[in-house]
Structure 1
Amino acid sequence: MERLLKKLKEANVGKVLENEPLKNHTTMKIGGPADIFIEPVGIDGVINTIKIVNEEGALMTTIGRGSNILVPDEGIRGVVMKIGEGLDHLEVEGTKVRVGGGYSLVSLATTISKKGLSGLEFAGGIPGSVGGAVYMNAGAHGSDISKILEKALVVFRDGSCEWLSNTDMKYSYRTSVLQKERPGVVVEAVFQLRAGDRETIVKEMQKNKDYRRETQPWNYPCAGSIFRNPLPNYAGQLIEKAGLKGYKIGGAKVSELHGNFIVNTGNATANDVIQLIKYIQDVIFEKFSIRLETEVEFIGKLKQN
């Protein structure tokens, strides 16, 4: 690990830290240290990081702005690469937007709406990065990333880099080809938007943002929606019908505002959250014969029992 650390620092890939607490990089404020933490600068920084890690045979985990993930209390061995400030560039040309994978999705939606471009209104209030949103086909209010993505620049595990079209991404509900079939890191995306009335677009985006603020518990650390909606049912409604709002295990609690959110009341561990997820799944299956699947991603060695 010392040799890997030395090589990464000498390569000037970006910010390189040892034993960095990952709770500082997740919206749930849960997670132990990463042996080596890297926030690469530029696409070359990502490619060089992956190549060096591969040369040393080390494990690597990639994160974005830390929403929609749960990190083990004992941390993550090997290297954790964060796609963040070093990849937050933005170019707007007509109705086409080219943006770095580390750019905040909320900030992008806000900026674009003020330019009178339509297509990202649904993203007002969605936490996380552009790269994470493209990776998981983030969506809300009847729309999602698949409706606007033209192409994404992806760096794969062998360090190769390739543009994938919307079709190549094989999008479905909260899923893309990158999750299992072709694991990779989104470093840039090109969105095709539409020109529209600036005032109308800003108003619609603000309405979506206000709706999230009123119905979701962002005053507490949380990861976003915990479960995928088992359409035509909705996870939050099922959890509420089961009387589980406010149910607590350790420092993890089902939000009283929205049933599909688990909040960290201050001292929650990853294990608390895992146990609460399992309890919810068991109760919902017992009451409604529906097995809820998680939307939140478990990274490192953290697994559901």
Structure 2
Amino acid sequence: MKIKTASFVDQFPEIEILKNESLAKYTNTRTGGPAEFLAFPNSIKQLRQLVMSARQADLELTVLGNASNLIVRDGGIDGLVIILQKMNKITCVADQVVAEAGAAMIQATEVAWQNGLTGLEFAAGIPGSVGGAIFMNAGAYGGEVGQVVKKVKVIDRQGNLKNYSQEDLQFSYRHSRIQDEDDLIIEATFSLKPGQPTLIRKKMDDLNFRRAAKQPLEYPSCGSVFKRPKGYYTGKLIHDAELQGYRVGDAQVSLKHAGFIVNLNHATAGDYLAVIQHVQAIIWQKFQVHLETEVRIIGKN
């Protein structure tokens, strides 16, 4: 039996916990319904307390990074939602960058540059958290997180601490073992190489310039919506199907980059999902290619 709302919140006076909080305030699309409980732990200890208490209280548990490559349905999420943005420490030891799950990948690349370490430049513009990047093996411009991860610390759904090596994580295109095990990432260690800071900065700036030139960064979006089908380029398929500009409500296939769906003003998650479904249907109809979503879709209708 679920314990009462007040009693769950009262268990953790030192942790920020909100009730019936709109997740649209936190997602990059600026859409999404409410979380029954929304917690912001700032340490592994607090996170373990929340995980174990949610299990004892039979509360559904959902953990988010910074909600960048994510759509939360308009019905919101029951149970406990945890956002790890306060767990954001990043340190550098020799040729390794160690980052907590809530840290921004962009900030991790900055720390690598500041310490003269090369290997993370490809992620200089990836908007997600470290935990989210590990979860989905985020990548850009020929690089993937799985190529530079040495080890990852996690908590399982019972609150037990575990460690995974790079090999354990079974990285593949936009996939890691974490998706199958349903563990909670708490920290990642990236193994990098010494480099010339000037050249590292130059590469990061170049990739960020290219990203800004090609992607609709001026609007809220969930990033790249679809995975790349084998033998095709998603953006070209959508462009060739004349779907750029297709719109439901305020959700629109970007005129700047066909692989993105942007929120022009007051889009809902329902608008986003309607656009996704229409694009998938038309691409199948015209090219017999199935577009699988890269964006994670969660919550109630």
Shift of 1:5: 4.5
1:45 pairs with 2:43: no
Q: Which residue of 2 aligns with 1:121?
A: 121
Question: Distance in 2 between the 1:150 and 1:5 partners?
Answer: 41
1:62 pairs with 2:63: yes
Q: Which residue of 1 aligns with 2:292?
A: 293
> 2:221, 2:261 within 8 Å by CA — same for their partners in 1?
yes
Q: Which residue of 1 aligns with 2:212?
A: 213
Question: Distance in 2 between the 1:5 and 1:189 partners?
Answer: 34
Deviation string 1:147-171 (CA, Å, 9 cap, x unpaired) is: 1000000111111110111111111
> 2:90, 2:111 within 8 Å by CA — same for their partners in 1?
no
> 1:61, 1:300 within 8 Å by CA — same for their partners in 2?
no
Q: Which residue of 2 aligns with 1:281?
A: 280
Shift of 1:6: 2.6
SS in 2 for 1:81: strand
Shift of 1:244: 0.7
Shift of 1:12: 4.5
> 2:239, 2:258 within 8 Å by CA — same for their partners in 1?
yes
Question: Distance in 2 between the 1:4 and 1:168 partners?
Answer: 38
1:267 pairs with 2:274: no
Question: Distance in 2 between the 1:292 and 1:135 partners?
Answer: 20
SS in 1 for 2:179: coil
The one-letter amino acid paired with 1:188 is E
Shift of 1:253: 0.1
Q: Which residue of 2 aligns with 1:111?
A: 111
> 1:114, 1:202 within 8 Å by CA — same for their partners in 2?
no
The one-letter amino acid paired with 1:68 is N
> 1:225, 1:296 within 8 Å by CA — same for their partners in 2?
yes
Deviation string 1:176-205 (CA, Å, 9 cap, x unpaired) is: 11112x111111001100101110011001
The one-letter amino acid paired with 1:70 is I
> 1:4, 1:56 within 8 Å by CA — same for their partners in 2?
no
Unaligned runs of 5+ in 2: none
Q: Which residue of 2 aligns with 1:90?
A: 90
Question: Distance in 2 between the 1:164 and 1:74 partners?
Answer: 34
> 1:13, 1:46 within 8 Å by CA — same for their partners in 2?
no
Deviation string 1:252-303 (CA, Å, 9 cap, x unpaired) is: 100001001000111111111111101101111111110000000011135x
> 2:22, 2:35 within 8 Å by CA — same for their partners in 1?
yes
Q: Which residue of 2 aligns with 1:203?
A: 202
Question: Distance in 1 between the 2:41 and 2:152 partners?
Answer: 18
Unaligned runs of 5+ in 1: none
**Where does 1:1-305 land on structure 2 (aligned, <5 Å)?**
3=4, 5-12=6-13, 14-85=15-86, 87-180=87-180, 182-302=181-301
The one-letter amino acid paired with 1:57 is D
**% of aligned pairs identical?**
36
Deviation string 1:110-169 (CA, Å, 9 cap, x unpaired) is: 232232110110001111100100111000111101110000001111111101111111
Question: Distance in 2 between the 1:9 and 1:221 partners?
Answer: 35
> 2:97, 2:108 within 8 Å by CA — same for their partners in 1?
no
Shift of 1:231: 2.7
SS in 2 for 1:179: helix
SS in 2 for 1:62: strand
Question: How high is the TM-score relative to the length of structure 1?
Answer: 0.95
SS in 2 for 1:45: helix
SS in 2 for 1:111: helix
Question: Distance in 2 between the 1:25 and 1:195 partners?
Answer: 36
Question: Distance in 1 between the 2:130 and 2:13 partners?
Answer: 24
Shift of 1:15: 1.2
Question: Distance in 2 between the 1:287 and 1:163 partners?
Answer: 46
> 1:242, 1:287 within 8 Å by CA — same for their partners in 2?
yes
Question: Distance in 2 between the 1:122 and 1:115 partners?
Answer: 16
Provide the aligned length of Structure 1 versus Structure 2: 300
The one-letter amino acid paired with 2:109 is A
Question: Distance in 1 between the 2:11 and 2:45 partners?
Answer: 14
Q: Structure 1 stretches (4+) deviating beyond 4 angstroms?
A: none
Question: Distance in 2 between the 1:9 and 1:141 partners?
Answer: 46
Alignment RMSD, CA only?
Answer: 1.3
